[in-house]
Structure 1
Amino acid sequence: MSHPAFSAATTAEEVASVFTDRIRGKNVLITGTSINGIGFEAARVLAKYANLVIITGYNSERLKLSQEAIEKDSPTANIRPLTLDLRSLTFVRKAAAEVSAYPEPLHVGVFIFNLMIPMLISSQVLIHNAYAATAEHQLTEDKLESQMAVGQIGPFLLTKLLAPKLLAAGTGSYISRVVYVSSMGHALGPGIDLNTVEKGDPEKYTMMGRHCEVKSANVLSAIELSKRSKGKINGYSLHPGAVITNIIQKEDRKEALQEFGLLGPDGPPVRRLSGRRFPNLKLPQPFTPELDVKPGAYFVDCVEASDKIAPHSSDPETATKLWTVTEGIIGEEFNFE
């Protein structure tokens, strides 16, 4: 369940080079791929070996810049841009319909969360890693609290809509995977308040407080998905390490990041970007079928660490209730038929 050569200092590029044979031929979908973000770095690294990398984002102009930069870095890369705004359930449904119509199978989905990256690659994987940190309490057009909409509710709906494609891509050798990028932040708060999943609490809202709720929801979703799918799709969550990206350019977020210890008065306290290389950005080790024996597992620094899940984020009753609440919000039941 872990690789002896990998650690907190391992980069995405280093891990990808080890598992080149397992990445080749795979079709990957990645959200949040703006240049200088971790989704872009994930796309750049995987594009060196994958059959197809679908890059997504809500801004088509920035998406085009990312495509051009990746193709410049890897001239033979097969990049396909897809406009996707996880803040809008209507947009999620539209994008999911487009992906479902692709002739290629969906092997890997990568949903990029600010500050972190997940990468669990096997034959069929959907990885949730999209996130929008907001300093102030905000509601989307669907009247959903913005952080939860992008980090949990939108990805939940997208997974539900792409489940048939993931199931169809499964083989006797591989089980489709859904990976949620959580973080150690899941344990820093009291867990998710099931009464405020939809709209949050504007009176108690803080950016990092809500961030911790979203991360708790991600861990719970991985556990519940694994249980409900009964072996058809396995869910996983992870903490991939903190990586300071273009989020620090947002003035309204600096104070919250400083309070959380991710920023000092003069910038990042430890980790800094160097060109397009992310020193602590990595792909966890489980590219291998061995991961299938531990559905719902949580990873830290490329090592399985389910014992580090906070009790409030591993409680099966809470996981079931969150799943039901989220189904109610999107207005659809999630099954695996």
Structure 2
Amino acid sequence: MVSHTEFDRHTTATTVAQAFDDNIRDKTVVIVGVSPKSLGESMTTALAAHSPSLLILASRTRAKIEKVVSEVKSKHADLRIENVELDLSSLDSIRKGAEQINSLAKQIDILINNAAVVTSSHEFTQDGLELQFGTNHIGPFLLTNLLIPKLLASAQKSSPGSTRVVNVTSLGHVISPIRFSDHKFQKRPEDIPSDERPMSRPGVSFDPPPGETYVPFVAYGQSKTANILLSLYLNQHLSDAGVQSIATHPGSIWTDLSRNLDEKHLAMIENTSTFWKDIDQGSATTLVAALDPKLNDPKVIFLNDCQVAEPAEWASNANAAERLWKLSEEIVGQKFELSPSNRL
């Protein structure tokens, strides 16, 4: 199913980019979520060494993107690289950022939705959404849809399935399905349908304390399930037009993502893995998803450690993907028809 069965958790993004050099050259790549010492920077660095025609880097803080741009340009002076200020927790910012990206690119060959947030407290976006669901799913959902015409422009000129949308997810998706009846976490678990409740195992509880409704890692798990369901839906509706979407688990990595966690939740993360990747290793699986020509199969929706993997059942459910799409349209106040007659 993949070109390199020898790739594993030790493989680096640098190695992956070298292996797929021909699939990077002259391509336009958009990477969302780029800052110093991040997975976004690692992906940018790996791709920049292989002559893409244009790299568009988007992130919430322009000054952080500019530091990455400066570092990349010091090694690849002739590379065209643009930066876009874009806050995934703001629908208005996403629309403005998408407009700028569309003005910069004639087509988009690869879109990498890498930005995310994780937090210990029950917070909300300025649009009133639970922060992790709003930033990690609704943001990429809206941005991807606003960029679809440029993705389709690439697909018309490229081999089937080589135009890619990569959604960075997490194994944390196994914690929770989508809480369609309570995505803002305003209800107790016993007050929502049983098929929306979080994972339950002997000795492991993801229920909130008495009198509370919010569990940070359940909210994170919901948002990461949504990332996979988005790839599933896109494949169902755009694969025949040449666009392929894959969600990827980067592995256990210490990045700035955990900056908003308290000591209790940081300690919980420390106990989730016995193997911690560096940033170059953590970017590898996402670049495999973006570049490997053998992954042009719409049934492939999830990669882990550079190989095809199976997500949790609730993250591979077509009915859930359709329900999530409709819910997301309602939230952003805009319908996105992906039928053949409405694609371009």
The answer, yes or no, to whether TM exceeds 0.5 is: yes
**Structure 2 match to 1:57:** 59
Kindly state the Cα deviation for residue 23 of structure 1 after the two structures are TM-superposed. 0.5
**Structure 1 match to 2:27:** 26
Say which SS state the counterpart of residue 55 (structure 1) adopts. strand
Equivalent residue for 1:271, pick from 262, 276, 279 = 276
Matches for 1:140-219 after TM superposition, within 5 Å: 140-170=125-155, 171=157, 173-175=159-161, 176-187=163-174, 189-197=175-183, 199-201=184-186, 203-219=212-228
Aligned residues, how many?
A: 308
- How far apart, in 2, do the equivalents of 1:334 and 1:262 lie? 41
**Structure 2 match to 1:328:** 330
1:243 is the counterpart of 2:253 = yes
* Residues 235, 295 of structure 1: 8 Å contact kept: no
Equivalent residue for 2:84, pick from 76, 82, 90 = 82
- How far apart, in 2, do the equivalents of 1:110 and 1:186 lie? 19
Kindly state the Cα deviation for residue 103 of structure 1 after the two structures are TM-superposed. 4.5
* Residues 219, 313 of structure 1: 8 Å contact kept: yes
Give structure 2 stretches of 5+ with no counterpart.
188-211
Kindly state the Cα deviation for residue 178 of structure 1 after the two structures are TM-superposed. 1.8
Give structure 1 stretches of 5+ with no counterpart.
113-129
- How far apart, in 2, do the equivalents of 1:28 and 1:186 lie? 26
Say which SS state the counterpart of residue 134 (structure 1) adopts. coil
Kindly state the Cα deviation for residue 328 of structure 1 after the two structures are TM-superposed. 0.5
**Structure 2 match to 1:132:** 117
* Residues 132, 147 of structure 1: 8 Å contact kept: yes
- How far apart, in 2, do the equivalents of 1:131 and 1:222 lie? 16
Equivalent residue for 1:261, pick from 270, 294, 316 = 270
**Structure 2 match to 1:95:** 97
TM-score scaled to structure 1, two decimals? 0.84
* Residues 185, 212 of structure 1: 8 Å contact kept: yes
**Structure 2 match to 1:116:** none
Identity of paired residues, percent? 29
Residue type matched to 2:68 in 1?
S
Say which SS state the counterpart of residue 166 (structure 2) adopts. strand
Kindly state the Cα deviation for residue 132 of structure 1 after the two structures are TM-superposed. 1.1
Using the TM superposition, name which of 9-18 and 211-220 deviates more.
Answer: 211-220
1:210-268 Cα offsets, whole Å, 9 max, x none, are 111111111111112211335223322222212211335x26444313213358xxxx9
- How far apart, in 1, do the equivalents of 2:322 and 2:292 lie? 28
**Residues 27 and 316 (structure 1), Cα distance of their counterparts in 2 relative to 1, 3 Å cut:** same
- How far apart, in 2, do the equivalents of 1:219 and 1:59 lie? 26
**Residues 41 and 288 (structure 1), Cα distance of their counterparts in 2 relative to 1, 3 Å cut:** closer
* Residues 177, 221 of structure 2: 8 Å contact kept: yes
TM-score scaled to structure 2, two decimals? 0.83
Equivalent residue for 2:305, pick from 301, 306, 311 = 301
Say which SS state the counterpart of residue 241 (structure 1) adopts. coil
**Structure 2 match to 1:16:** 17
- How far apart, in 1, do the equivalents of 2:217 and 2:29 lie? 30
- How far apart, in 2, do the equivalents of 1:103 and 1:259 lie? 42
* Residues 12, 281 of structure 1: 8 Å contact kept: yes
**Residues 76 and 201 (structure 1), Cα distance of their counterparts in 2 relative to 1, 3 Å cut:** farther
- How far apart, in 1, do the equivalents of 2:275 and 2:296 lie? 35
**Residues 259 and 72 (structure 1), Cα distance of their counterparts in 2 relative to 1, 3 Å cut:** same
**Structure 2 match to 1:38:** 39
Kindly state the Cα deviation for residue 31 of structure 1 after the two structures are TM-superposed. 1.4
* Residues 178, 222 of structure 2: 8 Å contact kept: yes
**Residues 247 and 103 (structure 1), Cα distance of their counterparts in 2 relative to 1, 3 Å cut:** closer
* Residues 89, 154 of structure 1: 8 Å contact kept: yes
Larger Rg: 2
**Structure 2 match to 1:120:** none
1:270-325 Cα offsets, whole Å, 9 max, x none, are 5375xxx63443145352433223344211111112xx321121122211111111
* Residues 47, 78 of structure 1: 8 Å contact kept: no
- How far apart, in 1, do the equivalents of 2:263 and 2:82 lie? 33
Kindly state the Cα deviation for residue 6 of structure 1 after the two structures are TM-superposed. 0.8
Residue type matched to 2:66 in 1?
K
Residue type matched to 2:179 in 1?
D
Q: Which contiguous aligned blocks of 4+ residues in structure 1 show a shift greater than 6 angstroms? A: none
- How far apart, in 1, do the equivalents of 2:82 and 2:14 lie? 21
1:289 is the counterpart of 2:293 = yes
Say which SS state the counterpart of residue 288 (structure 2) adopts. coil
**Structure 2 match to 1:70:** 72
* Residues 242, 280 of structure 1: 8 Å contact kept: yes
